[in-house]
Amino acid sequence: MNFYALFAQLLALATALILAPLLTGWINQCRAWMQNRSAPPLLQTYYTLNKLFHKDAMLAHNASSLFRAAPYVNFSCMALASAIVPTLSTELIFSPAADAIALVGLFALARVFIALAGMDVGTAFGSLGSRREMLIGFLAEPALLLIFFTTSLISQSTSLSTIVAALAHRDFVIYPSLAFAGVAFTMVSLAENARIPIDNPTTHLELTMVHEAMILEYSGRHLALIEWAASLKMFAYSCLGLALFFPFGISEAADPASLAAAGAFLIVKLLIGGFLLALIETVNAKMRVFRAPEFLGTAFLLAVLAMLVHLLLETGK
């Protein structure tokens, strides 16, 4: 076993677990500044998680074992997804298994469990949120797969490490298809992470909730794991977008010096990405849930266009 590859893999996982709540706090701060509000502390997400982990978990009398297991499954899926995305290096222990299609499957598995948990105790809002979540997932996953297929056609592989290595470390080539794929990925990422314009992560109106409606019955450590998993999902999507469309700074080696430089690049890119996400959420309003299919249908069409542009114009580069 390659010691450096193992070290890079463990470092990638630790980076995701530590930086994911920090990224959420940075986005919340930027949103508050842009909306002329007092910004919460940068470490507010850590404080919230610490408070929830120290509280008792209250469960409904009719909650099944699936309701209890869903937070752990959700957190495990998001942690594994964050670990297989090449954030610092492409030389990882999980690289042979880091397939783009498997990554979509991890996101889908987490969605299914949290949606089933939302319906498990039989509350009206939990069932409403679960139905909306599955609708969004049903529309977002095909678009995400087509985005991966476009990058796979460029690199001739579905392995995330191979895709990133092909885009970052080969001769410089301009791929117009990646522009369409990048816009589609941004739209899918907003929908998958319950961000404006599809959902509002800070809403208190039950009828407009999607993600929050499914977790109203959770408390204590269960709610902490779900909130941490949501931050991990945001981190995974952010790093995935950076790896596919802005791969500079990701190292091919796994030595400490290369990983330190890649970590510095990653932090800078996440700061810029978090600011841009907050800007998108500030200048847009939440759309009606009935318009979500139009939004994600546009993302799907852009992903199809990206693949067609590659097949028709870029083949042979």
The closest of 290, 263, 264, 267 to 135, measured between CA atoms, is: 290
Give the number of other CB atoms < 10 A from CB of residue 19. 22
Report angle CA 158, 296, 130 to the nearest 5 degrees. 95
pLDDT digits (tens, 9 = 90+) for 282-300: 898 888 888 889 999 999 9
Tokens coding 79:
């942690």
Q: What is the mean pLDDT of the chain?
A: 89
CA–CA separation, 131 vs 137, rounded Å?
10
The secondary structure of residue 157, as a DSSP letter, is: -
* Surface-to-core class of residue 275, CB atoms within 10 Å of its CB (0-12 exposed, 13-18 middle, 19+ buried): middle
Fill in the amino acid letter for 297. G
- Residue 257, burial from CB neighbour count under 10 angstroms (0-12, 13-18, 19+): exposed
CA distance 297 to 40: 35
Q: Closest Cα partner for 150 from 305, 301, 297?
A: 305
Q: Residue 182 and residue 147: Cα distance in Å, rounded?
A: 8
Distance CA 114, CA 211 (A): 9
Task: Give the tokens for residue 314.
Answer: 């870029």
pLDDT tens, position by position, 25-84: 999 999 999 988 888 899 999 999 999 999 998 888 888 999 999 999 999 999 999 988
pLDDT digits (tens, 9 = 90+) for 180-232: 999 999 999 999 998 888 888 777 666 667 888 888 889 999 999 999 999 99
CA–CA separation, 13 vs 11, rounded Å?
A: 5
Question: Could you give the count of Cα atoms lying within 13 Å of 62 in the half-sphere of its Cβ?
Answer: 6
pLDDT at residue number 258: 85
Instruction: Please count the CA atoms within 13 angstroms of the CA of 124 that sit on its side-chain side.
Output: 2
Q: State the pLDDT at residue 316.
A: 57
